[in-house]
């Protein structure tokens, strides 16, 4: 992301929470669409990408909840988006709290599940907050905010899926793969084969929240596929109609005109 020379706005500083640039961008309703497109389409600046230990000894990339909230405020305006969440009791157990979140903007609505592991000496409220933030980040990534971070699957992960077909994969691999599939699907890419592969692994796992997310991604994929087929069908019909030559109609003579022509003959 670069500096907006025309207004003096530095979007990186705004996203970092610099008071001057944040307020400048927040009140710039005239260029709101331009700011939104930059946040959604440009790669996340490395300054905001952090790493933490993941399951199975892996390293997971992430951005903070504060970054996502600021990005949403700048992209849509403070009153231009909302987020609702609830604990999913059927998926919450002694080891993890699972939350379902719904992010709504004026243009779209996204649903995702977030989870956080329960730990001793950590208040339940903090665990719920962490799970809710996780759900918010995932929802935001589906509209492009830090989508390159949460939708990113490294080559090693792809190789692992190809080489270890039929064997157990870590939750981190499965979750990352599913998020990447969902992101690319919304970008119009064909993810059919990869979705089938992800289904093979997730169905054989004990991750109930991922199974629900998988079902939602599959449903969305079928809708988009049906819509695409419908467009192609309409396009073919339209071309077919244009290719047919319209035969000129023969002019019908009135009885009086036929009589006159007979007399002339």
DSSP 194-245: HHHHHHHHHHTSS-HHHHHHHHHHHHHHHHHHHHHHHHHHHHHHHHHHHHSP
- In this prediction, residue 120 carries a pLDDT of 87
Tell me what the pLDDT averaged over the chain comes to: 80
Q: pTM surpassing 0.75?
A: no
- Can you tell me which residue has the tokens 């025309």? 6
pLDDT digits (tens, 9 = 90+) for 61-71: 899 999 999 99
- In this prediction, residue 63 carries a pLDDT of 95
* Contact criterion met (CB below 8 Å) for 112 and 101: yes
152 or 148, which is more confident: 148
Select, from the ranges 2-11, 98-107, 186-195, the one with the highest average predicted confidence (pLDDT).
Answer: 98-107
Question: Which residue in 109, 110, 115, 65 sits closest to 88, CA to CA?
Answer: 115
pLDDT digits (tens, 9 = 90+) for 153-185: 444 455 554 454 444 456 666 777 788 888 888
Gap between the Cα atoms of 138 and 116, Å rounded = 13
* Contact criterion met (CB below 8 Å) for 81 and 46: no
- In this prediction, residue 197 carries a pLDDT of 75
Gap between the Cα atoms of 100 and 89, Å rounded = 10
């Amino acid at each position: 992301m670069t500096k907006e020379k025309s207004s003096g706005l530095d979007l990186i500083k705004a996203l970092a929470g610099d008071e001057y640039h944040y307020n400048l961008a927040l009140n710039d309703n005239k260029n709101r669409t331009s700011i939104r497109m930059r946040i959604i389409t440009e790669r996340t600046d490395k300054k905001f990408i952090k790493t933490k230990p993941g399951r199975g000894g892996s390293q997971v990339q992430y951005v903070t909840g504060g970054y996502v909230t600021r990005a949403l405020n700048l992209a849509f305006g403070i009153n231009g988006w909302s987020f609702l969440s609830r604990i999913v009791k059927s998926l919450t157990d002694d080891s993890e709290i699972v939350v379902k979140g719904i992010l709504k903007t004026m243009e779209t609505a996204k649903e995702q599940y977030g989870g956080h592991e329960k730990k001793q000496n950590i208040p339940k409220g903090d665990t719920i907050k962490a799970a809710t933030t996780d759900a918010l980040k995932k929802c935001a990534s589906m509209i492009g905010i830090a989508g390159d971070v949460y939708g990113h699957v490294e080559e090693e992960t792809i190789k692992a899926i190809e080489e270890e077909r039929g064997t157990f994969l870590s939750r981190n691999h499965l979750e990352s793969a599913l998020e990447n599939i969902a992101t690319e699907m919304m970008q119009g890419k064909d993810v059919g084969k990869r979705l089938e592969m992800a289904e093979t692994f997730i169905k054989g796992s004990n991750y109930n929240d991922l199974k629900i997310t998988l079902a939602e991604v599959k449903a969305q994929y079928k809708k988009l596929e049906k819509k695409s087929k419908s467009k192609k069908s309409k396009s073919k019909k339209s071309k077919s109609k244009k290719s047919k030559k319209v035969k000129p109609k023969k002019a019908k003579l009135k009885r009086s005109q036929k009589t006159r022509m007979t007399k002339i003959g």
